[in-house]
Amino acid sequence: MNKVQRLSRRSSLAGGLLALVGLLTGPGAVWAADSVELLRAFVRDVKAGRADFTQTVSAPDGKRQKVSNGQFEFLRPNRFRFVYVKPEPQTIVSDGVKVWFHDPDLNQVTVRKLGDALGSTPASLLASSSMDKDFELKAEPDQNGLAWVRATPRQRDNTIQWLKVGFQGSTLAAVEIADSFGQRSMLRLSRFQAEASLPPETFRFVPPAGADVAEQ
């Protein structure tokens, strides 16, 4: 897999996590029957936040393949910043119009229009008005102490098959994403801050000096 393909795949996974971050806090206990409405309410109501994340990617045979970690910040609608710290540094920034993918190892920047980069992937959940239009939402049985919601894209594309959101109490505990390559990605969150004060420059990206910039 080349660098652009790897970054594009990460963008959809990152968008899935960001789109659902509003679910991290909420009132009262959560039951599976209520999890769909909880998803709708918090995607609609929580406007900004930041958190740390750990992402574990498993191969189609189920074996653990790779663990990454980093931080993210978001501001609705459609503005976000993901910074992968380990093992490979990567940065993904959306200013609400374009999405910038930066690979510091290659000093390479790929720029795509927001709609082209996100399409009908989970990142489209960042705009609450499109959630039910783009995804079929279904509450799933509790498993391993978590209440789950499955979101399946109504329009099939070449990126995401489905994603599942797991709640522990009123907190989002896990997001599992299945992609068209047969991989599973499990995202776990920590140190979430709802309604964080984020300056506008958080979501601006200026390519480093000498970077190879490709706009798609």
Tell me the CATH number for domain 3-215. 2.50.20.10
Task: Please answer whether residues 22 and 165 qualify as being in contact, where contact means their C-beta atoms are separated by less than 8 angstroms.
Answer: no
Where in the chain are the domains? 3-215
Cα 121 from Cα 173, distance rounded (Å): 21
pLDDT digits (tens, 9 = 90+) for 156-167: 766 778 888 877
Using CA atoms of 182, 66, 53, 38 in order, give the dihedral in degrees to the nearest 10. Answer: 20
pLDDT digits (tens, 9 = 90+) for 88-99: 899 989 898 999
Q: Where are the alpha helices (DSSP H) in 46-195?
A: 114-118, 131-134
Judged against a pLDDT cut of 80, whether residue 194 lies above it is answered with: no
* Residue 127 confidence class, pLDDT cut points 50, 70, 90: very low
Between residues 128 and 195, the one the model is more confident about: 195
Cα 83 from Cα 175, distance rounded (Å): 18
Q: What pTM value is reported for the model?
A: 0.76
Residue 184 sits at the vertex; the CA angle it makes with 180 and 186, to the nearest 5 degrees, is 140
Task: Return the beta strands (E) in the chain as ranges.
Answer: 48-58, 64-75, 79-86, 90-95, 98-103, 108-113, 135-143, 146-153, 160-168, 171-179, 184-194, 212-215
